[in-house]
């Protein structure tokens, strides 16, 4: 992670009362990349927000990120996933 990214994450986390170490930056960046490349570029920040909502409700960030990334890859392969499936 670049110095600028690390500083930004630390500042943004502090602003929201979070610990910077609790932010799974690689998970979020990988997910955003998968969505931008396989679904739709504007879907990346929306999906990151959805991940944040899920984590805020108790989901494991790595597991939830992996599920969403798999969903994005399925879209990229032309598969229409079944919601919740």
The reported pTM is 0.82
Provide the pLDDT for residue 1: 72
Provide the pLDDT for residue 85: 56
Question: How far is residue 71's CA from residue 7's CA, in Å, rounded to a whole number?
Answer: 31
Question: How far is residue 65's CA from residue 30's CA, in Å, rounded to a whole number?
Answer: 8
Provide the pLDDT for residue 84: 63
Low-confidence ranges of the chain (pLDDT < 70): 80-85
């Amino acid at each position: 992670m670049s110095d600028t990214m690390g500083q930004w994450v630390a500042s943004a986390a502090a602003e929201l009362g979070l610990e910077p170490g609790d932010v799974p930056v690689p998970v979020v960046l990988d997910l955003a990349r998968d969505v931008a490349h396989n679904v739709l570029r504007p879907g990346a920040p929306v999906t990151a927000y959805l991940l944040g909502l899920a984590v805020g409700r108790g989901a494991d960030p790595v597991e939830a990120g992996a599920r969403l990334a798999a969903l994005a890859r399925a879209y990229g392969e032309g598969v229409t996933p079944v919601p919740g499936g």
